[in-house]
């Protein structure tokens, strides 16, 4: 049986790198019991670094059986799910709408839309069934859910879809103590962002390239923890956090 002083149980997808790794490590440091999910077990083990409150589960979120297994393993170990950080995602190809191959589109949507939806569904089922009932889902959107970069149609469409997923979960979860919010992060310094702040920088809307500011991924993780740690009576629906001075607010 779990002890009453044990911290909340959080499932973090894409926990092997980037924002997922930073969030998982911060949660572990703050006393959460954290399930680290991702495709590469060695990366998950690096994230957990032998922490007693870390459980690693190899999981490809595009596979429904993997998602079911992830949440079954969570419930078997800790008996409940308090938080899902629905984080795993892919940038997909650099292509305009007329260049995007059907295969590349399907692969991007499979991770970013279907995978996020499958994880949310499994989390909600667990949250409805547990006592006390309820929990919190935090979806990792992107500032591309608001304003796209050029040649990012697959990513942009899937991240706009996450906004609809977030609102639907929040609405459908109301009667069960389940809240849902979205964090849209711009230019956190992760491996994925390596080209933004170096060399010729990132492609801009006017066709130029520009080296853009970035900010530490640990600071993005703190914003996720703020959302996760809110009392059940409050729901944080949307957080936008970007590198100061990046070209997001102004016109491109």
Residue range 167-194, pLDDT digits in tens: 999 999 999 999 999 999 999 998 766 6
Residue range 137-168, pLDDT digits in tens: 999 999 999 999 999 999 999 999 999 999 99
Domain spans in the chain, listed from the N-terminal domain onward: 9-242
Q: Active site includes 155?
A: yes
Burial of 79 (0-12, 13-18, 19+ CB in 10 A): middle
pLDDT at 32: 98
pTM: 0.95
* Mean predicted lDDT score pLDDT of the chain: 95
The average pLDDT across 193-222 equals: 87
Question: For the chain, what percent of residues have pLDDT higher than 70?
Answer: 95
pLDDT at 94 over 90: yes
pLDDT at 5: 62
pLDDT at 16 over 50: yes
The average pLDDT across 210-220 equals: 95
The residue ranking higher by pLDDT, 192 or 131, is 131
Residue range 39-81, pLDDT digits in tens: 999 999 999 999 999 999 999 999 999 999 999 999 999 999 9
pLDDT at 3: 45
Question: What DSSP line would sit under the chain, residue for residue?
Answer: ---TTSPPEEEEETTTSHHHHHHHHHHHHTT-EEEEEES-HHHHHHHHTT-TTEEEEE--TTSHHHHHHHHHHHHHHHS---EEEE--------B-TTT--HHHHHHHHIIIIIIHHHHHHHHHHHHHHSSS--EEEEEE--GGGTSPPTTBHHHHHHHHHHHHHHHHHHHHHGGGTEEEEEEEEE-EESGGGTTTSSTT-EEPTTS-EE----EEHHHHHHHHHHHHTS-TT----EEEEE-TT-TTSS--
The average pLDDT across 95-115 equals: 98
- So what CATH class is 9-242? alpha beta
Which one of the listed residues 155, 158, 169, 182 is annotated catalytic? 155
Q: Which two tokens stand for residue 185?
A: 């992060």
Q: pLDDT category, 12, cuts 50, 70, 90?
A: very high
pLDDT at 1 over 80: no
């Amino acid at each position: 049986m779990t002890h009453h002083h044990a911290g909340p149980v959080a499932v973090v997808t894409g926990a092997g790198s980037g924002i997922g790794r930073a969030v998982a490590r911060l949660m572990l440091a703050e006393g959460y019991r954290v399930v680290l999910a991702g495709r590469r077990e060695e990366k998950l083990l690096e994230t957990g670094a032998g922490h007693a409150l870390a459980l690693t589960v190899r999981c490809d979120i595009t596979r429904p059986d993997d998602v079911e297994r992830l949440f079954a393993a969570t419930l078997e170990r800790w008996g409940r799910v308090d938080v899902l950080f629905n984080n795993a995602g892919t940038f997909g190809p650099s292509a305009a709408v007329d260049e995007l191959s059907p295969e590349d589109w399907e692969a991007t949507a499979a991770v970013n839309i279907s995978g996020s939806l499958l994880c949310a569904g499994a989390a909600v089922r667990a949250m409805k069934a547990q006592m006390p009932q309820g929990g919190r889902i935090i979806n990792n959107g992107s500032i591309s859910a608001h304003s796209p970069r050029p040649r990012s149609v697959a990513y942009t469409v899937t991240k706009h879809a996450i906004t609809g997923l977030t609102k639907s979960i929040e609405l459908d979860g109301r009667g069960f103590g389940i809240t849902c919010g979205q964090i849209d992060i711009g230019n956190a310094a992760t491996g994925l962002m390596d080209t933004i702040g170096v060399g010729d920088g990132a492609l801009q809307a006017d066709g130029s390239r520009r080296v853009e500011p970035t900010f530490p991924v640990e600071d993005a993780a703190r914003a996720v923890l703020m959302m996760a740690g809110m009392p059940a009576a409050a729901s944080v629906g949307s957080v936008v956090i970007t590198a100061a001075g990046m070209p997001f607010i102004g016109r491109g």
